[in-house]
């Protein structure tokens, strides 16, 4: 075979790295959907509050503003600890930048803080129910439990997911090179953390 008919050597180019992982993209879409859900709840709350000049009703117990303020701080700190689990991933050029044991410890702290937040809320709800604030006592009570309860349900779901992700991270024999394996969960946790101060301000000071 002559040189004119020889096939040129094929050069395989490295596969292009996706701009974002499928997990991150999927979580971003899910968070966008959840953001619309909470926007709808808040919009409905504002409409109902505007239609009732006596808000909160004089015969209904007042919400625990001070205790919930401390609980809000607990949740905000949990957002910081979740982000700490991602901090090493920003040094991908270092061969051992990703320390999954350190990430697991920070996720463990986040888990404890999240459970503390839910525990305090549950305790305060039981007190409010004993004082007469229920979903049937008034529109005020109904909107309170719908808004705050919806957020608590999301935190509970995030706590369960965080537990399983942390468990898998610490037990896996395959060491991930960076924090992509936990980034979607941290994104979702950050979302439930950011949503809460808005709900706290609207419901507890409305």
Q: 3-class secondary structure for 98-137? A: CCHHHHHHHHHHHHHHHHHHHHHHHHHHHHHHHCCCCCCC
- Does 127 reside within a domain? yes
Residue 110 above 70 pLDDT? yes
Distance CA 170, CA 63 (A): 40
- In tens, the pLDDT along 54-103 reads 888 888 898 999 999 999 999 999 999 999 988 755 554 444 456 778 88
The answer to whether the beta carbons of residues 154 and 206 sit under 8 Å apart is no
- Does 60 reside within a domain? no
The answer to whether the beta carbons of residues 154 and 192 sit under 8 Å apart is yes
- Does 6 reside within a domain? no
Residue 1 above 70 pLDDT? no
- Does 200 reside within a domain? yes
Token look-up 């596969």 returns 15
State how many domains the chain has.
1
pLDDT of 18 reads 56
**Torsions phi, psi for 101 (to 5 deg):** -70, -40
Distance CA 126, CA 160 (A): 23
Distance CA 188, CA 47 (A): 28
Question: Residue 197 is part of a domain; what is its CATH number?
Answer: 1.20.120.80
- Does 102 reside within a domain? yes
- In tens, the pLDDT along 181-194 reads 788 999 999 999 99
- Does 11 reside within a domain? no
- Mean pLDDT within 109-126: 96
- Does 118 reside within a domain? yes
- Does 58 reside within a domain? no
Largest CA distance in the chain: 99
pTM for this prediction? 0.84
Tell me, what DSSP letter sits at residue 61?
P
Alpha helix stretches (DSSP H) within the chain: 22-51, 65-84, 100-130, 139-171, 183-204
Query: Could you tell me the residue range of the domain that residue 86 belongs to?
Result: 23-50+65-204
């Amino acid at each position: 075979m002559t040189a004119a008919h020889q096939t040129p050597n094929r050069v395989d180019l490295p596969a292009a790295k996706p701009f974002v992982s499928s997990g991150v993209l999927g979580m971003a879409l899910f968070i966008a959907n959840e953001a619309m859900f909470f926007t709808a709840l808040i919009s409905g709350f504002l409409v109902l509050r505007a239609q009732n000049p006596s808000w909160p009703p004089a015969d209904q117990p007042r919400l625990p503003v001070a205790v919930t303020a401390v609980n809000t701080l607990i949740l905000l700190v949990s957002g910081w600890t979740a982000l700490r689990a991602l901090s090493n991933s920003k040094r991908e050029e270092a061969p051992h930048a990703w320390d999954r044991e350190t990430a697991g410890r920070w996720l463990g702290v986040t888990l404890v803080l999240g459970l503390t937040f839910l525990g305090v809320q549950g305790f305060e709800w039981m007190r409010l129910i004993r004082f007469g604030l229920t979903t049937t006592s008034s529109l005020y009570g109904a909107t309170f439990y719908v808004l705050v309860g919806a957020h608590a349900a999301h935190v509970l779901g995030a706590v369960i997911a965080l537990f399983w992700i942390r468990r898998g991270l610490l037990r896996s024999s395959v060491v991930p090179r960076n924090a992509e394996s936990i980034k979607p969960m941290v994104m979702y946790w950050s979302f439930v953390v950011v949503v809460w101060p808005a709900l706290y301000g609207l419901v507890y000071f409305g």
